[in-house]
Amino acid sequence: MDRANRNMLNWIGIVFVLFPLLLIAGMFLRAIQANTLHSAESWFYPMMTLHGIGMASVWWIAAMAVASHVLSRYVEPSQKVSRFVFYGTIIGVVILLVSVFGGRFAAGWYFLYPLPFKSQGAWPQWATLCFLISLTVCGIVWFIWTVDLLRAIAKKYTLSQALGWHFIRGKSEPDVPPAILITTTALIPAVACFLSAVIVLLLYYYETLTGTRNDELLMKNLTFFFGHLIVNLSLYLAVAAIYDSFPKYTGREWHSGKIVATAWNVVLVIVLLAYFHHLYMDFVQPKSLQYIGQIASYISGIPSAVVTVFGAMAIVYRAPVKWSLGFSLLFFGMMGWGIGGIGAVIDSTIAVNSKFHNTLWVPAHFHSYMIEGLVLMALGYFYHYCQEKANIPENLKFHKLIVWLMLVGGYGFLLMFYLSGAKAIPRRFAFYPAELSHGALFSAIGLVFMTAFLIGLLLYIYETGKRWKKARAL
Ligand code: HEM
C-alpha cells in the first residue's frame, strides 16, 4: 500500500472514530437541555467545550485530508508531512482530553478571554494551560500542513496562475483546474488564521508567566478571526472536492474560467473581513468595522455558493448520474452549505443580530452548514475515495435509506434549533427557566431526530468501512 493511500485511510479512520463520539457528546448536551440526565448536569459545560472544539478540529482535518488528496491529482503534497501532522494531531487530542476529562476545562470552544483565567474554582489553572498547549500543538502541525500544500502548488504554478488571474484577464492557458484555484484561495487565508491563533496563544502564555493583563477587545478580535476562518475555510476546502469529483459522475468537464476565478478571488478577500459580524454586540468595536462586517457577510455568500451551486446544477442537469452514496452526500452537502449560508446571512444583519445574538439561531445556522454541509461533503468524498479503491458492488436502495436518514434526521434536528432561536431560547444554557420551558421540548424532539441521523451515520460507516478495509489490504 503506498504512503498516500495509507495516510488518506488513516485520516478517514480517525474521523470515523472521533465524529460519532463527538456527536454523542452533542446529544448529551441536548439531553440535559431536555431536562433529563440530571445526575450528569455538572458535565454540561466541559462537554460543550469538548464537543465544539473537537468538531471544529475534526472537520478541519477532514477537509484538509480531502483537499490534500484532490491536490495529489495535480501536484505532490509531502506524505511525510501528512504523517507527521497525523501523529501531532493525535498528541493534541490527547492533551485536550486530559484538560476536559481530567481538569473539567469548560470555557467554551472559543475560550473567550479572560474566561479561561476566571474559572472561579470550576476548573484548575493547569486545565487551562493544558487546553492552551493542546491548541498550540494542533495549531503548529496544521500550520505546517497548510504551508506544505501551498509549497506543492507553488512548485508547479506561479501565484497568479494558481489564483487564475490569467482567466480574469481573458486568457485560457494554462488550464488550471478549479481544485487548485479553490484550494489556493482557502489556504492563503489559512496562514493568516493560524498566525492569529499563534498571537492569541502567545498573549495567553505571556499573561500566565507575567500576570500582565491583555486587552479584551484585541483578544476577542484575534480569537474570532481564527474561529470564523477555520470553520469557513474547512468548507471551501471541501467544496474543491465538488468541482473535482462531479465530472467523474456526470461525464462532463468543469473548467475554471473567468467567472469561477473572479468569484473565488473575491472570496479570498471577503473571508478575511466577514468575521466582524461576531462582534456586532461589542459597542467598543469601531462602528466602521461593524458596517464592513455586514457588507462582507452579505457578499461572502454570493461568489462561493451561487457560482458553485449553479455550476453544479448545470453539470448535473440531465446527466446520467448514478446516485450512489458518494455522489448523493456530495450533492446534498453542497446544498446544505447553501441553506446554512442563508441562515447565517440572516443572522449577520445588524438589525436581526440585535435580536438573535446568542440565541439558538446561532448554533442553528452553523450546525446547518456543518452537519448538512461540510460533514456530508467530506463523508461523500471519503466514500468516493474508498469505493474507487475497493470497487465493491453498490446497493443503491440501501444507500438511499442511509441518505434519507441523514437528511431527515439532520434537518429535523436543525429545525428544532431554528425554532428555538426564533422563540428567543438562549444558546449555552444547560437548563431553561420556567418562562423558556418550550426550549426543553424542542431539545427532546431534536434528540429524536438526531437519533435517526446517528443510525444513518452508523450505516454509512458500516458501508464505507467495508471498502476502507479492502482498500487498506490492497
Ligand atoms: C452531528 C451532531 C451534532 C449535535 C447533536 C450537536 C449538538 C450541539 C449542541 C446541543 C450544542 C450546544 C448548543 C447551545 O445550547 O449553545 C452544540 C454546540 C456546538 N456545536 Fe454541535 N452538534 C453536532 C454537530 C456539530 C458539528 C458537525 C459541528 C462542527 C463544527 C459542531 C460544532 C459545535 C460548536 C462549535 C458548538 C458551540 C460550543 C460552544 O458554545 O462552545 N456541532 N452542538
List ligand 1's pocket residues with C-beta within 6 A: 23, 26-27, 29-30, 48-49, 51-52, 55-56, 59, 108-109, 363, 367, 370-371, 375, 427-428, 450
- The contacts of residue 170 (CB under 8 Å, 6+ apart) are 258
Percent helix / strand / coil, the chain, rounded to 5: 80, 0, 20
**pLDDT for 120:** 84
Grouping H, G, I as helix, E, B as strand and the rest as coil, residue 348 is coil
What is the CA(23)–ligand 1 centre distance, in A? 8
234 CA distance to ligand 1 middle (Å): 16
Grid coordinates of 140: 503548529
Distance 363 CA to ligand 1 centre (A): 7
Q: What is the DSSP annotation of 130-175?
A: HHHHHHHHHHHHHHHHHHHHHHHHHHHS-HHHHTTHHHHTT---S-
pLDDT tens track for 419-441? 999 999 999 999 999 999 999 99
Architecture of domain 37-321 in this structure: Up-down Bundle (1.20)
Residue 281 has pLDDT above 90, yes or no: yes
Verify cis geometry, omega within 30 degrees of 0, for the bond prior to 174: yes
How many angstroms separate the CA atoms of 169 and 61, rounded? Answer: 34
Looking at ligand 1, which atom is closest to the CA of residue 371?
A: 27
pTM: 0.96
CA of residue 129 to ligand 1 center, whole Å: 24
CB 367 within 8 A of CB 414: yes
Determine the Cα angle at 362 with ends 202 and 346, to 5°: 115
Instruction: Ligand 1 pocket test: pick from 51, 230, 360, 377 the residue with the most ligand atoms within 8 Å of its Cβ.
Output: 51
Distance between CA atoms of 350 and 364, rounded to whole angstroms? 18
Output the pLDDT for position 474. Answer: 83
**Cell digits for 360?**
439558538
Overall average pLDDT of the 53-62 stretch: 98
Distance 107 CA to ligand 1 centre (A): 14
What residue ranges do the domains of the chain occupy? 37-321, 326-474
Nearest alpha-carbon partner for 327 in 415, 237, 394: 394
Strand ranges, E, within 280-395: none
CA distance between the termini of the chain: 6
Q: How far apart are CA 137 and CA 87, in angstroms?
A: 11
Separation between Cα atoms, residue 166 and residue 131, nearest integer Å: 45
- One-letter amino acid of 234: S
Rg of the chain (C-alpha set): 22
**Nearest residue to 413 via CA among 450, 452, 458:** 450
- Residue range 352-387, pLDDT digits in tens: 999 999 999 999 999 999 999 999 999 999 999 999
